[in-house]
Structure 1
Amino acid sequence: MAEMKQRTKDRVLIDLLQQPGTYVSGDQLASDLAISRESVWKAVKSLQKDGHRISSKKKSGYAYLSSNHVDQRVVTAYLDQLSQGQQAFDTIQVFDDINSTQTYAKDYLATHPGQQPSLFTARTMGAGYGRRGRAFFAPKDRGLYISLSLPIDQEQPVIASLLTTSAAAVIAQVLEETFDGLSVSLKWVNDLIVSGHKVGGIITEAVFDMENQQYNALVLGFFVNVLPADYPSDIQKKAMALVDDPNYPIDWNFLMARLTLALIRMNANYQSGEYLADYRRRSFLIGQRVSLQVGQEQFEGTVMAISDSAGLVLRLDNGEEKTIYAGEVTKVKLYENLNL
């Protein structure tokens, strides 16, 4: 089958993305693409209607600013520019709507194993899930919903607890660098907390290669509530967004590219414990009395520390100290509105 001809507006967008934020004259765009000035103008108008923020200035031309939604072409351009062309991807897939990027990513990777990271994201999801299979609310263009595959180095151990906590620290740092005045705390093991409310979560899963009897990829899934939304009644008291203004101009694709590259860098050396100090600094559980659910067992006690393998060190009521690597804090007195 012959390859579908690229639409004019897509060609204009790709050209503008070569120098985001920089004005390019209509004459230059027309010359680059071998089209008329009128075709350039029509393409820009169509792109603006699609939600791309493109500034036009007399005698200067057009400048790409941002988009009001995630877009495969835009995030691909940013990933290439921010990594200076050094970071390859096996695939980058952006969906308008999908049941779950995490489910799709695992199914895809089971039949398409690769040597490079793969990125899957969507504008909204109907069946997104977190730890313990819990569904979460993913309103369209209100948050980032991402599944990132990280190839496994067979020479290095996979330390799930350390990977998840390192990812949480990295995501928190990028968000703080992006939004002025933002302060992100972390609830062991995977919740992002702002002002006593949950704004995001992380899940880490592996894809197993039955033929070779080994894991061939890790899938790091996470969501971040960026803009306010009408949250369902069961989470209204504990969920919130990073910003209060529903019209806040988010550069979705730039933010996603920064998070993606930071997590890929993290994956190369998280086993060293490099991110533990920041995770501990952000943890609000240390020194707090908590209830902890581990499978069918429940423990109560005081959190003493985060271990060097990112386990929760808990002093039980009988004085025994126990380090736990998997489980969920179901109650903590620090923030009652979290309903933990």
Structure 2
Amino acid sequence: MDQEKKKTATKYLVLDDLLDHVGRYVSGDQLASDLGVSRESVWKAIKTLQKEGHRIVSKKKTGYAYLSSDHVSEQVVQKYLGKLSQGQQAFDAIRVFDEVGSTQTYAKDYLAKHPGQNPSIFTARTMGAGYGRRGRAFFAPKDRGLYISLSLPVNPEKPMIASLLTTSAAAIIAQVLEETFPGLNVQLKWVNDLIVKGHKVGGIITEAVFDMERQQYNALVLGFFVNILPADYPEEIQQKAMAVLDDPSTTIDLNFLLARLTLALIDMNNGYQDGTFLADYRKRSFLIGQRVSIQVGQEILSGEVTGISNQAGLELLLDNGEKKTLYAGEVTKVKLYENLNL
């Protein structure tokens, strides 16, 4: 092994050892002994990791402690996924990109060629061509949020209910965010927007990969983004978009949050069809009781939202007295929140 490869291998080994003791100090001597390398090699590896954005602190006569990373890292994500699932959750693929056009596009292309039995995760530090519902582009500032496409294997014994899958995922993401950030209140705008303080902080898109030859679905791809830290948003969305956190200097472990979110969503996929998450979704919806305008195809419908159906449809009392339940469409205006046209 040449020197450069040896240095790289040592770096990964040191990080892996530190990740076994997150928040706790490990002495340089112990690391050197564990890995069969010199103290100097450990020190050089630590310096390299710190330069790459891993928050590793040192204390004289005590050692080094890993705290977090300022970016999504494949090695760190895999470690957290293993720890949180106690090694029980298998993945067919975990891909972390420094930059990609769209994790959703990549995921669908990959899964069309590599159908699998287990979930796969595709994420990136930034995206150049990310898109949401109706193909609408969105801003993905580097290392300021999570941009994830999660493939969920199709269970032929259970129905695929797109409306329930999307709303259940929204409820789960909201729950995990509130558990991670005490005091946070996440509301939901039907069908797929995460709202904090009247501004959009995230969104969800659900798509399927269909195998034409076998005439069956290979996988469901749940794409979602969450703005975690503030960023300089483009002028056209400055009044609409916001981040979960107000302070741009807040330290947050994106890898741990990513692992928690994906595992919670995988668990959700095992039983969302029975409407388990509808009660929470309804509680978080600020549309119920509000007057809205909804675009359905080329038509604009106006009326009052009376509820969310058991299949996660939007129940609407139209101005002409007619009752409708919608499973597709986009809320373009809410009486109290006219800035949510995203």
Normalised by the shorter chain, which TM-score bucket? over 0.9
**Which segments of 5 or more consecutive residues in structure 2 lack a partner in the other structure?**
none
SS of equivalent to 1:208 = strand
Residues of 2 paired with 1:151 and 1:6: CA distance? 35
Question: Equivalent of 2:127, from 125, 128, 144?
Answer: 125
Residues of 1 paired with 2:40 and 2:314: CA distance? 63
* Change over 3 Å in CA distance of 1:271–1:4 after alignment to 2: farther
Residues of 1 paired with 2:293 and 2:218: CA distance? 35
Question: Equivalent of 2:155, from 153, 156, 178?
Answer: 153
Which runs of structure 2 are paired with 1:1-340 in the superposition (5 Å)? 7-339=9-341
Residues of 1 paired with 2:6 and 2:122: CA distance? 23
- Note if contact 2:295-2:332 (Cα within 8 Å) is conserved in structure 1: yes
After TM superposition, the runs of 4+ consecutive aligned structure 1 residues lying more than 4 A away are 3-6
- Note if contact 2:7-2:45 (Cα within 8 Å) is conserved in structure 1: no
Code of the residue aligned with 2:165 in structure 1: it is L
Q: Is 13-22 or 202-211 further displaced after alignment?
A: 13-22
Residues of 2 paired with 1:193 and 1:127: CA distance? 23
Measure how far apart 1:272 and its partner are. 1.0
* Change over 3 Å in CA distance of 1:287–1:122 after alignment to 2: same
SS of equivalent to 2:339 = helix
**Which segments of 5 or more consecutive residues in structure 1 lack a partner in the other structure?**
none
- Note if contact 2:123-2:147 (Cα within 8 Å) is conserved in structure 1: yes
Measure how far apart 1:17 and its partner are. 1.2
Residues of 2 paired with 1:212 and 1:15: CA distance? 45
Measure how far apart 1:7 and its partner are. 2.2
Code of the residue aligned with 2:240 in structure 1: it is K
Q: Is 226-235 or 19-28 further displaced after alignment?
A: 19-28
Residues of 2 paired with 1:55 and 1:281: CA distance? 42
SS of equivalent to 2:202 = strand
Compute the TM-score of the two structures, normalised by the length of structure 2: 0.97
Count residues in correspondence.
338
SS of equivalent to 2:67 = strand
Code of the residue aligned with 2:89 in structure 1: it is Q
Q: Is 329-338 or 64-73 further displaced after alignment?
A: 329-338
Measure how far apart 1:337 and its partner are. 3.2
SS of equivalent to 1:21 = coil
Give the percent of matched residue pairs that are identical in Structure 1 and Structure 2. 78
Alignment RMSD: 1.3
Residues of 2 paired with 1:297 and 1:310: CA distance? 21
1:214-265 superposed Cα distances (whole Å, 9 cap, x missing partner): 1110000000011111111110001011111111101010000000000000
- Note if contact 1:276-1:310 (Cα within 8 Å) is conserved in structure 2: yes
- Note if contact 1:237-1:338 (Cα within 8 Å) is conserved in structure 2: no
Measure how far apart 1:201 and its partner are. 0.3
Measure how far apart 1:317 and its partner are. 1.2
Code of the residue aligned with 2:183 in structure 1: it is G
Measure how far apart 1:60 and its partner are. 2.0
- Note if contact 2:189-2:287 (Cα within 8 Å) is conserved in structure 1: yes
